[in-house]
Structure 1
Amino acid sequence: MKYVILIGTRHSTQRNLERTEFSDYVESIAKQYGVKAIAEEIDESPSVVQRLSKYLNVKYINIEPSMNEREELGIYRFPSLIDLAVYQEFGNVESKGAHNEIERRMQSDCRKRENEWLRRIDNLGVFPILVVCGANHVEPFSLLLRNNDYSVDIACTLKE
């Protein structure tokens, strides 16, 4: 059964190797669900989750596309490039139309990234899998997973 457990958090929490509360929480969820793998959306390592997966002796995968992979997938390499592109088209980024366009492009990129995460999780094929991602991705990613015949539990939408 394709089974995913989601934890939403802030990326600064994922990178903070000094605080043990987050690591302890992720460990308790991993043990509670008997996960066989841990995946995370992060663009840097090492991370709390990466270190914990070694400690728990479970597979680890970083599901976030690299900058080069983003470009290949038609995703802006940096969110600030969206602002620049919209500025070049609208002549400013302050108008309501420009704000709407920035938001539309950011959401489009988020959905493309989430589809790539799904592809990577599918390719790994190890379940149950715990996925740690930014809190803003929990709801749309859980919907994408469910629409692709995954069973999903949301352990936490924002754990800090």
Structure 2
Amino acid sequence: MKEVVILGTTHEIQEGNRLSVEFKAYINKLVKIYNISSIAEEIEDSNVHIAATVCAELGLSHEIIDPNPKYYKRLGIKPIADIEYEVMQLHFLNVSPLNRDKVSPEVLLDFDSRMREEHSSKREKEWLKNILALNTWPLLVIVGANHFTYFSDLLLENKIKVHKAAPNWPREK
């Protein structure tokens, strides 16, 4: 049976820059509870990962499922900087919509919807392809908290059983 345990957090935590001991313990706990056979992450391949350390210690495989940004064009994924620039031009802004507290709700809505349609949803479909290619179950998938709900839904739509560990660890365990 295709089964995924999904965990949302921040890249700062995944990389061990904050709460590394606690995060490692939480991953170990999930591995034991769900009998995880492999861990997959949405994170840049060049970074150090707490999950990779856990996998090395436990003899599990560790995979990066996020496409490398240098392949975005080939995959039809628009870079965040391009979306940011387009929104700034469209709304005559001299500040980036990434500075969420400095732009209007209308700008945020436009930016967020463009990000979802032109960037995030396409990346998430690549993650799905990559975990299906791994074909290792049960699988722990660690994603940025902003992807947790969307990716959980995508997994369910594709007949994968989903266990929602935490949408935004450590805030929501």
- TM-score, normalised by the number of residues in structure 2: 0.84
Unmatched segments (≥5 aa) in structure 1: none
Equivalent pairs, count: 159
Conserved 8 A contact 1:142-1:152: yes
Q: RMSD across aligned C-alpha pairs, in angstroms?
A: 1.8
* Distance in 1, Cα, partners of 2:30 & 2:106: 43
* Distance in 1, Cα, partners of 2:134 & 2:70: 21
Question: SS of 1:20's equivalent?
Answer: helix
For 1:102, give the aligned amino acid.
F
Question: SS of 1:116's equivalent?
Answer: helix
Give the equivalent residue in structure 2 for 1:40. 41
Give the equivalent residue in structure 2 for 1:87. 88
Q: Equivalences for 1:11-160 in 2 at 5 Å?
A: 11-16=11-16, 19-43=20-44, 44-77=46-79, 79-92=80-93, 98-108=107-117, 109-160=119-170
For 2:162, give the aligned amino acid.
V
1:91 deviation in Å? 3.2
Conserved 8 A contact 1:7-1:159: yes
* Distance in 2, Cα, partners of 1:81 & 1:102: 11
For 1:76, give the aligned amino acid.
K
Unmatched segments (≥5 aa) in structure 2: 98-102
Question: SS of 2:143's equivalent?
Answer: strand
Q: Deviations over 1:106-156 (max 9, x none)?
A: 112111111110000001111000001111111111110000010000011
Flag the 1:101–1:124 CA change in 2: closer, same or farther, 3 A. Answer: same
